[in-house]
Amino acid sequence: MEVDLVKAESRQWGAELERIGVELGAGDNPVLFPYHFLYVTLPKIGGMFAIFREGEQRVGVGFLFPRALHAVGIATQRVYTLRYHRLRHSSAPSDLVATACAAKLGAPVVFYDPTGPLRYVPTSQITGPVDIGHPSEAEAASMRSLQREVWGSPDEFLYPTDLHSQEFGAGSSLVARVDGVVAGFLFGFYRFDGGPLPQGWEHRLNGAFRLESQTMAVAPAYRGLRIANLLKRAQAEQAWRQGIGIVNWTADPLQYPNAALNFGLLRAIAFEFTPNLYPFRNDLNRVHASRFSLTWTVGAKRVHDTPLVGSKATIVDLSRQPQILVVNDGWRTARFDGEAPLIAIEIPSDWTALQQNDVGLAQAWRTVTDTLFQRYVGLEAGQYVVTGVGTHDERRYLVAERTSDELWRRLGAPVTN
């Protein structure tokens, strides 16, 4: 059996993914990951895919997901999950497939068949009326249905149920139950490396092995119970127990309720911005999908010491903080010469409704804020890190702090026992 590895930097990446989608029946194949995930997120987390051939015939394709990072003396060894899809009959047993792939990759792989016998081991941790834990098989299937409900997504955009199995070994898989009903979910994947970090954070927070938090949803009927906060805090606790100090995820910077949760309550930060990251459109993304990559330092005191129950989101009242420089008047005007210690970037008060009611105006907001984020947000001297949210009457803002050594020390101060 011969193996060809395809990485994101290869010119074959996009074309091969499209060919694989045709071969595996994307849209009608419930165990195939969505195209946008495979195209954008799989390489982001350090994954790739492999094509398996017997002679000139393609007999299978495997997607390689980060699974573990082991210390080997003074070095480290990456371990991958090989998510294998058969394209046609092959006499090669699974251990031969895994061995051939490991030899080509130069790293251990764990063979995984998404159609094989799988185990789901539900767990439970109750906080008030909400029960958070790993899902049962039936609950995992409900998570797929809830994704369809919240995003209005067609089947080809839905994540496969089996990713929540014990055998697949996703980095994070959590469900929220209220009175026995699935009210929300959150899942993510292990990640090798990631974007650059401030000085000192790489070693202190184990930046070589992170968690990429991928998708979270809460059913409309159960919003107001702080389920999103409970799910994220449970995820942080799990990550920290595994020695993971950094959780990353992407977020639409124009969704104020999400920003209030991410920055105001969870105390995540943003110093990476990518315009037009995802190639999809749905009810919540009617204009191009630009995103922040959030950094959540679950191994830092600032995050770790936040109480699970009773903590409130910090919302800055800009009418009382005249020293914070507001750099735009909505979508109308913007300035790019700001040098104040703190700046505020206005975002829509209701981004979802704006996209539903006026796509043209939504596009104008996206264009202006994209330009502002590209100018201001980053790690370099003179740039800014988004650390909070603010309001002024009915207007909504992201608050960012100018980079400095003192800022990095404060944001990355380690947990003390």
- CATH number assigned to the domain comprising residue 164: 3.40.630.30
Q: Given a cut of 60, is residue 355 above it in pLDDT? A: yes
Residue with the two structure tokens 């003396």: 73
Q: In the chain, what percentage of residues exceed pLDDT 70?
A: 98
Distance CA 73, CA 57 (A): 41
381 and 368 in one domain?
A: yes
Confidence of residue 388 (pLDDT cuts 50, 70, 90): very high
Q: Residue 109 is which amino acid?
A: V
**Other beta carbons within 10 Å of 145:** 12
Range of the domain at 299: 246-417
Q: Is the pLDDT of residue 285 over 70?
A: no
- Three-state secondary-structure class, residue 87: coil
250 and 190 belong to one structural domain: no
Do residue 233 and residue 293 come from a single domain?
Answer: no
pLDDT single digits (tens) 334-343: 999 999 999 9
Paired sense of beta strands 384-392 and 395-402, if any? antiparallel
pLDDT digits (tens, 9 = 90+) for 219-271: 999 999 999 999 999 999 999 999 999 999 999 999 999 999 999 999 999 99
Q: Which one is predicted more confidently, 315 or 277?
A: 315
Confidence class for position 327, pLDDT limits 50, 70, 90: very high
- If one counts the domains in the chain, the total is 3
Q: Are residue 76 and residue 127 in the same domain, yes or no? A: no
Looking at residue 211, its pLDDT comes to 98
Domain endpoint, select from 112, 141, 156: 112
User: What pLDDT score does 279 carry?
Assistant: 59
Identify which of 212, 225, 237 has the alpha carbon closest to the alpha carbon of residue 305: 237
Same-domain status, 272 and 414: yes
Q: What is the CATH number of the domain that holds 58?
A: 3.40.630
Coil, helix or strand at residue 56: coil
Same domain, 285 and 329: yes
Q: Is the dihedral of CA 346, 350, 354, 357 positive or negative?
A: negative
The verdict on 223 and 128 lying in the same domain is: yes
Q: For 142-148, which contacts have Cβ atoms below 8 Å and span 24 or more sequence positions?
A: 142/175, 142/182, 143/175, 143/182, 143/185, 143/187, 146/182, 146/184, 146/185, 146/217, 146/219, 147/185, 147/215, 147/217
Task: Rank 281-285, 297-301, 324-328 by mean pLDDT and report only the highest.
Answer: 324-328
Q: Are residues 84 and 6 in the same domain?
A: yes
Query: Cα separations (Å) of 188 from 221, 284, 344, 369, 394?
Result: 24, 20, 30, 28, 34
Token pair belonging to 304: 């770790």
Which percentage of the chain shows pLDDT scores above 90?
A: 84
Residue 278 pLDDT more than 80?
Answer: no
Boundary (domain end) residue, out of 222, 243, 264: 243
**What's the mean pLDDT when you consider all of the chain?**
93
Regarding whether 335 and 303 lie in a shared domain, the answer is yes
Same domain membership, residue 284 and residue 180: no
> How much is the pLDDT for 284?
61
Same structural domain, 288 and 397: yes
State residue 282's pLDDT score.
Answer: 55
Please report the pLDDT score of residue 276 as a whole number.
86
Last residue of a domain, one of 112, 130, 154: 112
- Mark whether 164 and 138 lie in a shared domain: yes
